[in-house]
């Protein structure tokens, strides 16, 4: 059948498989997604989010309660403690796995029995918009597919990427320092398989169209279970061609576009997010022309924001903010400060100098953090900082400021919540969890430092006993609930960076209908700062007040005194909006 959908799919496939007869593959993909070939694509440049949207990132077992499955406990947490401050939840890989805390998937269509089952996942999906990982670049060496690869039978015989020691792999970009190729003994001899991340995570070969079909089948299954947001994990490395960098290749981008075409024809309100922890310019390419990822992670924000607060200077954060292009309607940034992995350093390349980077790493190390490395040429380069966000902000580069830790922590989140984009909180940032050094000793993995497991009882105690956990959590709840009511904080609302010196980071947001303005002003230093309101150009006919404290500012020419790390959201209007999360 000749329809707009079939023509669009053929156009994608001609880029991915230029030598193939792609007509039968088009029919197979449409059938696998159970699509009507005559279905129409949704309108372009349509925002599927608004200011109410706030995402939680968590493992399925980050919080546990004795005697019940962790996914049941997570649902209780979402229902009770977090119901009024979140619209969506990203449950990190909840499938059977062999390593990397879930990112070495054994079976894509099963739930790890220790966490629960698909019924538990679907229950959460009915309460919050559910984001799930599509671990698309690689699969566990203990999977049935890889066992079939070794036995030389289908499905799996030709599903994994192979290479030889004679191939030109000198330009391959790696996020790890382990060997790229791993020898594997198969029933017809030794083969060298491509392992971008670890020998247990064998890269899939999308040069085989049946691998693409298998993943489309997985996508359709997830949609049926209630998943509406797809995180394409490590997608930048998807396509490999010896003699190239094997990152961001044209076929990789086209696979993302094809998946979007298939998903939006069947589920027009589903969202694709690409996880590409790379320098900023490379990351931005995954928007395409509003026809690729709906949302991309703002990977440069964590290192620049944390560096800003440790150094007391917003020079680099401000330069970066001014250079960021506004996301087109129908696309958005996902803003976060910390994740389950750590604070990536590659996105700060060419933004921080070598001296600043060394000072940054040294400060984090003094606060108990660690450094993971990647291989570049013949040397290892710092790749990410492994540390909890709470401890990352323990002190400043010049030392002696640990008593201001909570103020720095809240300032970081206030900036993140106000910036253009959708805010996301890693669960251990929301609860101000400390470094888990015992878990690192147990697993011998740096990333375990920020993957603590709370008991529900201990967490509830910590959130009610006056601890820093309670102080941080209650302050963040107030900020989140305040933000969710303001149309000027819509992810696509106008943003301009203000010039208030190096110690004060500020920006202006205006709602899409221009009914509300917010001037977000943040003292990022450990000292008191003065800011003249006249430099902000407040409209004198409006009444201005701070959304955070309710304090009024009637004199547009007055001078503000900002305490260390104090933040203001100066607005001419306040809204008490009803919850309207990501469209269903």
pLDDT computed for residue 316 by the predictor: 97
pLDDT computed for residue 584 by the predictor: 43
pLDDT band at 578 (very low <50, low <70, confident <90, very high): very low
The domain in which residue 527 lies consists of: 494-571
- Residue 133 annotated as lining a ligand binding site: no
Is 470 among the domain residues? no
Q: What is the pLDDT of residues 75-86, one digit of tens each?
A: 999 999 999 999
Is 518 among the domain residues? yes
Domain finish residue from 175, 203, 231: 203
User: Whole-prediction pTM value?
Assistant: 0.96
Whole-number percent of the chain with pLDDT over 70: 98
Q: Which tokens go with 160?
A: 């994994």
pLDDT band at 576 (very low <50, low <70, confident <90, very high): low
Among residues 399, 464, 398, the alpha carbon closest in space to that of 431 is found at 464
Would you say residue 375 has pLDDT above 80? no
Residues 6+ apart with CB under 8 A from 173: 237, 245, 246, 247
Helices (H), 244-300: 250-266, 280-284
- Catalogue the active-site residues: 233
Is 547 among the domain residues? yes
Cα dist from 48 to 151, 256, 401, whole Å: 45, 18, 42
Cα dist from 117 to 70, 72, 104, 327, whole Å: 10, 10, 19, 37
Three-state secondary structure of 411-437: HHHHHHHHCCCEEEEEHHHHCCCCCCH
- Determine what percent of the chain falls in helix, strand and coil, rounding each to the nearest 5: 35, 20, 45
- Residue 478 annotated as lining a ligand binding site: no
What average pLDDT does the segment 495-521 reach?
97
pLDDT computed for residue 241 by the predictor: 97
Mean pLDDT of the residues in the chain: 95
pLDDT band at 378 (very low <50, low <70, confident <90, very high): confident
pLDDT computed for residue 270 by the predictor: 98
Angle 524-419-431 from CA coordinates, rounded to 5°: 70
Domain finish residue from 165, 187, 203: 203
Cα dist from 458 to 236, 433, 466, whole Å: 39, 12, 13
Is 299 among the domain residues? no
Q: Report the domain count for the chain.
A: 2
- Residue 447 annotated as lining a ligand binding site: yes
What average pLDDT does the segment 321-342 reach?
96
Ramachandran region of residue 102, left (φ > 0), alpha (ψ -120 to 50) or beta? left
Is 226 among the domain residues? no
When mean pLDDT is compared across 181-185, 214-218, 299-303, 537-541, the lowest value belongs to: 537-541
Range with top average pLDDT, 169-178, 346-355, 363-372: 363-372
Would you say residue 402 has pLDDT above 70? yes
What average pLDDT does the segment 448-477 reach?
98
Q: What is the pLDDT of residues 403-439, one digit of tens each?
A: 999 999 999 999 999 999 999 999 999 999 999 999 9
Rounded distance, CA 391 to CA 369, Å? 8
Among residues 86, 110, 107, 89, the alpha carbon closest in space to that of 98 is found at 107
Q: What's the CATH number where 543 sits? A: 2.60.40.1180
- Residue 233 annotated as lining a ligand binding site: yes
Is 193 among the domain residues? yes
CA dihedral 325, 580, 416, 439 (to 10 degrees): -120
At which residue do the structure tokens 């398989």 appear?
193
Is 540 among the domain residues? yes
Contact 526, 564 (CB under 8 A): yes
Domain finish residue from 203, 225, 243: 203
DSSP 520-555: EEEE-SSS-EEEEGGGTT--TTS-EEETTT--EE--
- Residue 375 annotated as lining a ligand binding site: no
Rounded distance, CA 7 to CA 26, Å? 9
Q: Which tokens go with 514?
A: 């221009």
DSSP 332-376: EEEE-S--SS-EESGGGTTTS-HHHHHHHHHHHHHTT-EEEEEEE
Q: What's the CATH number where 147 sits? A: 3.90.400.10
Is 455 among the domain residues? no
Among residues 186, 204, 342, 339, the alpha carbon closest in space to that of 273 is found at 339
Q: What is the pLDDT of residues 227-280, one digit of tens each?
A: 999 999 999 999 999 999 999 999 999 999 999 999 999 999 999 999 998 989
Q: What is the pLDDT of residues 160-211, one digit of tens each?
A: 999 999 999 999 998 888 999 999 999 999 999 999 999 999 999 999 999 9
- Residue 546 annotated as lining a ligand binding site: no
């Amino acid at each position: 059948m000749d329809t707009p959908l079939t023509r669009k799919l053929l156009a994608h496939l001609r880029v991915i498989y230029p030598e193939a007869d792609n007509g039968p593959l088009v029919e197979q993909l449409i059938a696998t997604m159970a699509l009507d070939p005559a279905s129409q694509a949704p309108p372009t440049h349509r925002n599927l989010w608004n200011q109410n949207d706030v995402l939680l990132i968590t493992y399925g077992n980050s919080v546990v309660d004795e005697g019940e499955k962790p996914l049941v406990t997570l649902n209780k947490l979402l229902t009770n403690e977090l119901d009024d401050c979140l619209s969506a939840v990203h449950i990190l890989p909840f499938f059977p796995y062999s390593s990397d805390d879930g990112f070495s998937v054994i079976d894509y269509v099963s739930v790890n029995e220790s966490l629960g089952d698909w019924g538990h996942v679907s229950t959460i999906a009915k309460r919050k918009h559910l984001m799930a990982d599509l671990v698309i670049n690689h699969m566990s060496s203990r999977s049935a597919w890889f066992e079939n690869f070794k036995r030389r039978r289908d499905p799996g015989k030709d599903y994994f990427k192979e290479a030889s020691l004679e191939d030109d792999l000198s330009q391959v970009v790696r996020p790890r320092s382990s060997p790229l190729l791993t020898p594997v003994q198969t029933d017809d001899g030794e083969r060298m398989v491509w392992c971008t991340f670890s020998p247990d995570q064998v890269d899939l070969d999308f040069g085989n169209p049946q691998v693409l079909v298998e993943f489309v089948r997985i996508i359709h299954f997830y949609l049926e279970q209630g998943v509406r947001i797809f995180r394409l994990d490590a997608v930048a490395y998807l396509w490999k061609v010896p003699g190239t960098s094997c990152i961001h290749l044209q076929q990789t981008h086209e696979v993302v576009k094809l998946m979007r075409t298939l998903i939006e024809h069947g589920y027009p309100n589903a969202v694709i997010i690409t996880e590409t922890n790379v320098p900023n310019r490379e990351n931005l390419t995954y928007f395409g022309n509003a026809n690729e990822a709906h949302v991309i992670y703002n990977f440069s924000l964590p290192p620049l924001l944390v560096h800003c607060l440790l150094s007391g200077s917003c020079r680099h954060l401000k330069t970066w903010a001014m250079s960021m292009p506004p996301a087109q309607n129908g696309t958005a940034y996902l803003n976060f400060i910390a994740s389950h992995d750590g604070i990536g350093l590659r996105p700060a390349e060419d933004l921080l100098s070598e001296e600043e980077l060394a000072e940054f790493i040294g400060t984090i190390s003094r606060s108990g953090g660690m450094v993971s490395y990647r291989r570049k040429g013949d040397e290892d380069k710092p790749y990410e900082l492994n540390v909890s966000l709470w401890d990352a902000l323990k002190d400043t580069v010049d030392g002696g400021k640990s008593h201001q830790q909570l103020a720095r922590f809240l300032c970081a989140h206030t900036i993140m919540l106000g910036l253009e984009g959708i805010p996301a909180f890693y669960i251990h940032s929301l609860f101000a969890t400390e470094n888990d050094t015992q878990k690192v000793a147990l697993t011998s993995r740096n990333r375990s430092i920020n993957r603590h497991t709370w008991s529900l009882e201990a967490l509830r105690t910590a959130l009610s006993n006056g601890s820093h956990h309670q102080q941080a959590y209650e302050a963040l709840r107030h900020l989140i609930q305040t933000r969710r009511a303001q149309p000027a904080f819509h992810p696509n609302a106008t943003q301009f960076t203000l010039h208030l010196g190096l110690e004060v980071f500020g920006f202006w947001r205006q709602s899409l209908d221009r009914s509300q303005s917010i001037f977000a002003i943040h003292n990022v230093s450990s000292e008191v700062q003065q800011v003249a309101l006249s430099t902000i150009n407040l409209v004198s006919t409006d009444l201005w007040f701070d959304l955070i404290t309710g304090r009024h500012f009637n004199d547009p020419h007055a001078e503000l005194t900002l305490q260390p790390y104090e933040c203001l959201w100066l607005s001419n209007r306040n809204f008490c909006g009803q919850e309207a999360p990501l469209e269903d």
